[in-house]
Amino acid sequence: MNNIITAKFGGTSLADASQIKKVAAIITANPERKYVVASAPGKRFSDDIKITDMLYKCHAQFTNNENYSETLGKIRERYAGIISELGIEFDIDAEISELEKNLAHKDYTASRGEYINSKIIAKFLNWPFFDAADGIFFTSSGVLDEAKTFSTLGEKLKALSCAVIPGFYGALPDGSIKTFSRGGSDVTGSIVARSVNADLYENWTDVSGMLSADPRIVKNPRVIDFITYTELRELSYMGASVLHEDAVFPVRKAGIPINIRNTNRPDDNGTMITASLPKNLSRKAVTGIAGRKGFSSIRVEKSMMNGETGFGAKLLYIFSDNGLPFEHCPTGIDTISVVVNSDLFDEKRDKILREIKNELDPDFVMIEKNLSAIAVVGEGMVSVKGIAAKIFSALANAGINIRMIDQGSDELNIIIGVDEKDYELAINSLYKAMIEA
């Protein structure tokens, strides 16, 4: 144990002075929370505008020769309000005029949301501020330079007993600022945790952890208390979102657990994300259910297909040559289906169908649209018998027709394809049978 926690706070956790005060109380409640990664101020209410969005707007107005002063003024006001409510001395005008000089640079402009916010938080806590540009490095092609970052950042941060570090950006070899993709402060938090060899990466947000189903579909779904990195990846891929996709990799390699926590309910345990589940943990075989709409299935039939070497490979090449990734590929004896994103497929549809006919000479090709895919995910599914039977009877009892079944080869998930119109009912029926019951 190093007795080090890296705590990252998201935009809603830092949206105004009262949220920042909650964050300060969380930080000081545990002296192991030594390295704090901060986002830019996010939304205070649903129609509010994030500082990062205002910064992008300001840059766009500047480059289009439009008047940007109102947008810049609003950014200034937002910070000025926070500063006065926190009761700290902070020269916001110096920061805003520095920003104004550099509005031509998109990533620099966007990064000032976290930069200024982190300086304010550091001042309020009376902690050192550490600029991410001095420790997070990208190669000239814009990829994170892991080796250089982990060693330099680790060394520089450990020389400080604690620090506030802005999320979302780092520096290119020429020193200019480069941001991660949106939501990238999660990635910074993970990089910091890895670099200082933290025991834990806490990710503080506005929900009490990862939910076992989409709350827009299922009423009050349960919070997942423990989940493995692999389960998380499967559920996130199918649309459940709690963390930036790239945030798992740095800590996963070092086996550092991630704890998703709620700034507004700090006593909740949240969700713990680990490489393997704690021993003696008793829980359901199914951890979570997630899904997406908008798929099409292209079913190709040809008698004696099984005897024809390379049929499947040729079919998949046609899709990949057209730049279309496939999601699933269930096969029968004389049939093979390729499930793809409908929007991408529609753009290339005629060309792909022509190539299938010319190159594979099939007996029959059928396109099924309006398909949704639902993943039922859980490490426990491998060892428990009768899971598939339960899934299928839950759907049959609800009168839902299953249009595709695909079990992942790791037996960690079963993907079910149903008509888009049955999607919500299917998720609810599966949740009731597999998680709530």
Contacting positions for ligand ASP (CB under 6 A): 11, 39-40, 50, 52, 113, 167-168, 182-186
C-beta separation of 250 from 190 below 8 A: yes
For 29, counting Cβ atoms within 10 Å of its Cβ (0-12 exposed, 13-18 middle, 19+ buried), the class is exposed
Q: Helix 17-29 and helix 106-125: axis angle, to 10°?
A: 60
Nearest distance, CB of residue 130 and ligand ASP, angstroms:
17
Using alpha carbons, select from 132, 197, 142, 139 the residue that is nearest to residue 165.
132
Four-residue CA torsion sign, 199, 205, 208, 214: negative
Residue written as tokens 């950042």?
A: 153
Q: Which is nearer to ligand ASP, 183 or 291 (CB)?
A: 183
Nearest distance, CB of residue 427 and ligand ASP, angstroms:
28
Q: Which is nearer to ligand ASP, 248 or 300 (CB)?
A: 248
Q: Which is nearer to ligand ASP, 133 or 315 (CB)?
A: 133
Nearest distance, CB of residue 145 and ligand ASP, angstroms:
20
Which residue in the shown chain puts its C-beta closest to ligand ASP? 185
Nearest distance, CB of residue 430 and ligand ASP, angstroms:
31
Q: Which is nearer to ligand ASP, 182 or 351 (CB)?
A: 182
Nearest distance, CB of residue 263 and ligand ASP, angstroms:
14
* Whole-number Å distance between alpha carbons of 13 and 262: 9
Nearest distance, CB of residue 244 and ligand ASP, angstroms:
7
* Whole-number Å distance between alpha carbons of 33 and 195: 15
- 139 CB neighbour count, 10 Å cutoff: 12
Using alpha carbons, select from 248, 253, 158 the residue that is nearest to residue 196.
158
Nearest distance, CB of residue 109 and ligand ASP, angstroms:
12
Nearest distance, CB of residue 103 and ligand ASP, angstroms:
17
* Whole-number Å distance between alpha carbons of 65 and 298: 48
Four-residue CA torsion sign, 341, 343, 346, 351: negative
Using alpha carbons, select from 400, 384, 380, 381 the residue that is nearest to residue 392.
400
Chain centre to alpha carbon of residue 249: 12
Question: Six-digit token pair at 384?
Answer: 């428990």
Q: Which is nearer to ligand ASP, 210 or 374 (CB)?
A: 210
Q: Which is nearer to ligand ASP, 186 or 379 (CB)?
A: 186
Q: Which is nearer to ligand ASP, 110 or 300 (CB)?
A: 110
Q: Which is nearer to ligand ASP, 90 or 115 (CB)?
A: 115
- 401 CB neighbour count, 10 Å cutoff: 11
Nearest distance, CB of residue 90 and ligand ASP, angstroms:
20
Q: How many CA atoms lie within 13 A of 257 on its CB side?
A: 19
Q: Which is nearer to ligand ASP, 189 or 221 (CB)?
A: 189
**Host H or E run for residue 414:** strand 413-419
Nearest distance, CB of residue 200 and ligand ASP, angstroms:
19
* Whole-number Å distance between alpha carbons of 70 and 57: 11
Q: Which is nearer to ligand ASP, 150 or 168 (CB)?
A: 168
Nearest distance, CB of residue 69 and ligand ASP, angstroms:
22
* Whole-number Å distance between alpha carbons of 230 and 224: 14
The contacts of residue 367 (CB under 8 Å, 6+ apart) are: 296, 297, 298, 299, 349
Question: Six-digit token pair at 303?
Answer: 């008698």
Q: Which is nearer to ligand ASP, 192 or 285 (CB)?
A: 192
Give the length of the chain.
437
Rg, C-alpha atoms of the chain = 25
